[in-house]
Amino acid sequence: MRLLLLLLLFSFTSGLAQKEIRLEVLNVPASEGKISVALYNDAQSFLKFDKVFASKSVRAKKGTTNLVLQDLPEGEYAVALFYDKNGNDELDTNWLGIPKEKVAFSLSKMKMFGPPKFKECAFLLEKDLSLQISL
């Protein structure tokens, strides 16, 4: 009976195991400023600064900057990131709202007339994952 109870407990808690996303940001132009990452888990919140599921900023490293988003439940996600050259923790834009700092997305690129949609950037997180995103 104890063995059965232990097996049930283990199978339940293993289903709740948290995952991580290792990001390798390529083509970082300089070792000044930050790489700021936002993780979204649905289309309604995608690219809304007040609806970010998880976020992280790390010091930029010319060439390649690495970071890890940890303790994430399984699910569908999309990443948006930007090179915060001046380190002001904001995506600087011109008067039309067009970014003046480099931006990038998981599995998609900026379009001629705006950013991609959530579904174009989305991926399924079922186990620890490594992603390369090029600025």
Q: Give the pLDDT band (50/70/90) at residue 16.
A: low
**pLDDT at residue number 3:** 42
Looking at the whole model, is its pTM more than 0.75? yes
pLDDT digits (tens, 9 = 90+) for 42-70: 999 999 988 999 999 999 999 999 999 99
The residues with which 99 forms a beta bridge, in sequence order, are 93
Amino acid letter, residue 96: L
Mean local confidence (pLDDT), 11-24: 75
Pairing of strands 123-125, 75-84: antiparallel
